[in-house]
Amino acid sequence: MGLRITKRNHCPLWQKIVFYAAAIVIALLIGAVILISIGVNPLDYYYQMFTMGTVGNRIGYKTFMNYLNDFVPLALTAVALSLAFKMKFWNIGGEGQFIMGAIGAATVAFQVGPYTPMWITLILMCLAAMLLAGLYGLLAAWLKVKFNTNETLMTLMLNYVALYILTFIADTKADWNFFLQEQSTRPVFKDFSEFAAFPAIPTGGKFELNICVILTLIIGALVYIYLKYTKHGYEIGVIGDSANTARYAGMKVNRIVLRTVFFSAALIGLAAAFKVGTTGVLSTTITNDVGWTGIIVAWLAQLSTPIIFVASALISILGCGCTEANASFGQVSADFADILQGAILFLVLVADFFTRFAITRTKKGGKVNG
Amino acid sequence: MAESYAIEMRGITKRFGSIVANNNVNLNVKPGEILALLGENGSGKTTLMNMLSGIYKPDDGEIFVNGQPVSIDSPEDAKRLGIGMVHQHFKLVDVFSAADNIWMGKEKAGFVLRKNRYDDIEQIANQFGFELDPKKKVYNMAVSEKQTLEIVKVLYYGAKILILDEPTAVLTAQEIRKLFDVLRTMKEAGHAIIIITHKLNEVLEISDRVAILRKGEYITTVDTASTNEQALTEWMVGRKVDLNIDRPQVETTRPLLEVRDLTIENDEGAVAIDNVNFYIRGGEILGVAGIAGCGQKELCEAIAGLRPIKSGQMIHKGDNIVGLTPKAILEKGISMSFIPEDRLGMGLAPSMSITENMLLKNYREVKGPFVDRKSGRAAAEQVIKDLEVVTPSTETPVRRLSGGNVQKVLLGREIKAGPNVIITAYPVRGLDINSSYMIYNILNTQKKNGVGVLFVGEDLDVMLSLCDKILVLCHGKLMGVVHAHKTTKEELGLMMTGALDLSEKYENKPAGVAKDTLFTDAKGGETDGTSDHEA
């Protein structure tokens, strides 16, 4: 006469899907309760949110393009983070690495952009962003390898260092500061879209597919192959499982850690290059929190590359959809997306628990101790 | 049956998911009796005992303590019922003193540490003839002292029923004898004792009755006086088993691996291996005996290139291997497998599949950037077949296998690589009879193939019958190298505790130095091997 938690041996796929779907439905119900309490019809709101206002809207295609522009940096950052996480290197410095990548890309755009063809500028932007972000990540990895510092703390603090460097650039009006508009008396970031903007692939209609979407999908596939089938991927797996075993097997653990963290951070830098190459301007909120959300996405997907793409797509819908829906429902705060995201994350973790454990009733028992 | 039992378990069933760990098990112990619980790995002994100590709850069946039906929901309940368990892995706080470890778990201990706790605990220890310093910190204790502390702890809590899970696995022969004396004292004082062990000679020596489990099923309980090793083994395994360990005579080669004046420090910077000499020839098994933690691990790691040495030389077929990377040493054909206490720490990646673990040391050999999983799967299938590994598939994570199967996977991979020197530490640690014999056979086959084997072991009986020579360490010092067929357990025990030093037995030949050494120069210089050299 009691409830007990027992371990499941096997959870069939359909059951897993049911659990995860139930988690999302319950999260939406919780959101519905909040919406009703502030006098909004949840069905209307969710309709607006999930369609992101694209249905029956003359400029719906624009919203969808915006959505993809949100999706690209998030998916790429989450994929990049999963590389380090697989190795149990807790890189939570995605924000800082993204900012460094953005600064690198913007520098190239301003300094090289006016003198070279755009496609060369774009490639150089990507390389500069990857190098700068990669080195920034490497710093934390090197400290860990050399002095056994805690990478969680280091990458976390380096986030703020990067953010304040960007804020400093944003606030400082000076002759050397080529990032700002010369004409304006107040410090305002200068636009560089005339020198550097990623080309879009025309699709016949008004909708244009940014080439970064294609590139991100290709990179995702490459990372998947890298982790699953290559020697490097195998080494990452072994180190993540047991660094001692890796050393025993003759792997150069320190070198592999440095290499992998550099890759991870460089890919985040690339995500930043994609972002600034699309917006054409820096801003202090350039990251759109992908460094944080990317961690959530990577864990929601349990570090599986294909699922990271699915999770990024869903999380981006939440962000974009809420912004769109809020345009029609003024009384809903912009933070509603965060509430929903939190509820989904929490409930998906609960669902994850139920895929591994079952609650069973005990048959017998309950006698008094002698 | 008017007799009252201290503990009686009736029809106990315990399932983990679809796996039945215990099925309808009956067990009873009288006060003043020692019951041995016998069974192979994974036969459910520890699960059964964990239900007595309140860690698990049975799915079915009843437990009686002194004739009263009870429900044991937590370790606290077990303590209140007078049941105390000494686990295989000690549950002690390292930075606390002996007395504080005991005081910590005492009910109504109050908020203040009182001085008299030391006296209390000393008194209990003396009562049963234990030697225990209540003020000594756990991290300063030897394994046997920690075990003593665990036993004193449960006695202090008033346990009348004592469960010991493989208590002898970590002790020397002398320490085991001391433990058994204590157990007999407790038995006379009316305690009921359940002891889990794999060692049949110990079962016959200490117990009054033996209960046998096989694959979770209760087989029988017999009086120890009316049985023997052969009969017990057959009940346990379910068929006839040959209990003799072979020691085939093989022609030996010149030394494959020679170690000269080797000194190694442990992680704390203390000397772990102190000026040790030994050599291994092809076609022989050299045993390494010593109390747990006296430099075995450091020695294995140093040979495999995982730990820098302080001074000394190591040569393999005449080539210096000091300072080489683990990879380079692997490529020379030196294989090292070390089974640590947790069995998974070194040599395997626990979350990865058998296939992936097979690839651990040779994944680099294929050209190109990709890992050749096909060859890994073939190797996994081969090892599973050859060594009778029980696993659902080649893709099962190693962590899900039972201890014995994990060890087979590790050893199987090492042998498949075709090494010429095998360093193996505790390869049968915690294994049941059947699996242990399989491992001995594997090592003997390797020996016949001309491989040199360094066998770091715990069970002296096994080492005496399996090894050709035995090297004895005491606190990292070489106590001598003896021929297994010429020595005795007692002599080894004396050497292990440092009471007997045979390293200077022969004046003309220091222990562990081969006459036909491949060292070209005692100083490690590059003199010609053929020149007459007088040291």
Which residue, among B12, B63, B71, B409, would best test binding to A if mutated, counting the most A CBs under 10 Å from its CB?
A: B71
**What is the structure's pLDDT at B524?**
44
Work out the burial of residue B217: count CB atoms within 10 Å of its CB; fewer than 13 is exposed, 13-18 middle, 19 or more buried: middle
> Is residue A364 over pLDDT 50?
no
Strand partners, B121: none
- DSSP letter for each residue of B119-183: HHHHHHHHHTT----TTSBGGG--HHHHHHHHHHHHHHTT-SEEEEESTTTT--HHHHHHHHHHH
Contact B364 A231 (CB under 8 A): yes
Distance CA B66, CA B30 (A): 9
Shortest CB distance from A241 goes to which of B57, B352, B371? B352
Lowest mean pLDDT among A126-135, A166-175, A212-221: A166-175
Out of A25-29, A147-151, A265-269, B130-134, least confident range: B130-134
3-state secondary structure B103-118: HHCCCCCCCCCCCCHH
The shortest C-alpha distance from A26 to chain B (Å) reads: 28
User: Cα distance from A303 to chain B (closest Cα, Å)?
Assistant: 15
What class has domain B7-237?
Answer: alpha beta
Q: Could you give the CA distance from residue B425 to residue B412 in angstroms, rounded to a whole number? A: 14
Q: How confident is the model at residue B535 (pLDDT cuts 50, 70, 90)?
A: very low
**B253-333+420-526 has which CATH code?**
3.40.50.300
User: Which of B7, B8, B18, B59 should we substitute to test contact with A (largest number of A Cβ atoms within 10 Å)?
Assistant: B59
pLDDT at residue A267, as a whole number: 96
- When CB atoms are compared, the residue of B18, B65, B371 closest to A234 is B371
**CA torsion angle for B366, B368, B370, B376 (degrees, to 10)?**
-10
Summarised one tens digit per residue, pLDDT across range A83-142 is 999 999 999 999 999 999 999 999 999 998 888 888 889 999 999 999 999 999 999 999
**Range picked from A5-14, A54-63, B246-255, B280-289 for highest mean pLDDT:** B280-289
- Closest-CA residue in chain A for B339? A245
**CA nearest neighbour of A191 among A122, A280, A109, A101:** A280
**Residue among B19, B59, B71 minimizing CB distance to A367:** B71
Is residue A293 pLDDT above 70, yes or no? Answer: yes
Residue B95 near residue B139 (C-beta atoms within 8 A): yes
Cβ contacts of B57 on chain A, cutoff 8 Å = 4, 362, 365
Look at A247 and B326 and tell me if their CB atoms are within 8 Å. Answer: yes
CB contacts < 8 A, A to B, total 92
Residue B507: the pLDDT is 63
Average pLDDT over residues B507-526: 63
Mean pLDDT of chain A: 87
> Chain A contacts of B327, Cβ < 8 Å?
250
**Integer Cα distance of B135 and A284 in angstroms:** 60
What domains are there in chain A, each with its CATH number?
Answer: 61-309 (1.10.3470)
B487 to chain A nearest CA, in Å?
A: 35
Residues 6+ apart with CB under 8 A from B341: B89, B429
Show residues of chain A in contact with B60, CB under 8 Å: 363-364
* Contact in structure between A135 and A259 (CB atoms under 8 Å): no
List chain B residues with CB under 8 Å of A7.
16-17
**Strand-pair category, B255-265 with B192-196:** unpaired
- Chain A nearest C-alpha distance from B412 (Å): 15
Question: Which of A7, A245, A250 faces B347 most closely, judged by CB atoms?
Answer: A245
Q: Which residues of A37-76 are buried (b: 16+ CB within 10 A; e: fewer)?
A: eeebebeebbebbbbbbbeeeeebeebbbebbbbbbbbbb
- What's the whole-model pTM score? 0.77
Q: Give the model's pLDDT for residue B341.
A: 58
Distance CA(B23)–CA(A93), nearest Å, equals 52
Give the pLDDT of residue B529: 40
Q: Contacts of residue A249 in chain B, CB cutoff 8 Å?
A: 326, 360-361
Collect all residues of chain A within an 8 Å Cβ-Cβ radius of residue B306. Answer: 247-248
Q: How far is A18 from chain B (nearest CA, A)?
A: 21
Q: Where are the domains positioned within chain B?
A: 7-237, 253-333+420-526, 346-418
How far off is chain A from B531, nearest CA to CA, in Å?
A: 37
Residue with token string 């890992």: B371
How much of chain B exceeds pLDDT 90, in percent? 8
Q: Do A6 and B70 count as a contact with CB atoms less than 8 A apart?
A: no
Q: Which of A34-48, B70-84, B109-123 has the lowest mean pLDDT?
A: B109-123
Q: What is the pLDDT of residues B290-346, one digit of tens each?
A: 877 778 888 888 888 888 888 888 888 888 888 888 888 888 888 877 776 556 657
Contacting residues for A311 by C-beta, under 8 A, at least 6 apart: A78, A297, A300, A301
Reported as a pLDDT band with limits 50, 70 and 90, residue B520 is low
> A267 to chain B nearest CA, in Å?
20
**Smallest Cα distance from A235 to chain B, Å:** 9
Q: Of all residues in chain A, what percent carry a pLDDT higher than 70?
A: 94
Nearest to B306 among A8, A248, A368 (CB): A248
Integer CA distances (angstroms), A168 to A132, A187, A321, in order: 18, 11, 33
Residues in B lying within 8 Å of A, measured between beta carbons: 16-19, 57, 59-60, 65-66, 68-72, 77, 80-81, 304, 306, 325-327, 330, 336, 344-352, 356, 359-361, 363-364, 369-371, 373
- pLDDT over threshold 70, residue A2: no
What is the mean pLDDT of the segment spanning B507-518? 71
> Helix crossing, B173-188 with B489-496: angle to 10°?
100
Chain A nearest-CA residue for B356: A234
Across the interface, whether the CB atoms of B363 and A231 are under 8 A apart is answered yes
Place of tokens 């090297």: B471
**Residue type for B508, please?**
N
CB atoms within 10 A of CB A163: 15
- Min Cα distance A237 → chain B (Å) is 8
Asked whether residue B2 carries a pLDDT value surpassing 60, the answer given is no
The H or E element containing residue A32 is: helix A13-37
CA dihedral (A339, A340, A345, A349) positive or negative:
positive
* Distance in angstroms (rounded) separating the CA atoms of residues B503 and B80: 53
**Which residues in chain A have Cβ-Cβ distances shorter than 8 Å to B307?**
none
CB neighbours of residue B407 within 10 Å: 30
Query: Chain A contacts of B80, Cβ < 8 Å?
Result: 369
Report the pLDDT averaged over residues A217-243.
Answer: 93
Give the list of residues 6+ apart from residue B2 with CB closer than 8 angstroms, or none.
none
Average pLDDT over residues A290-309: 90
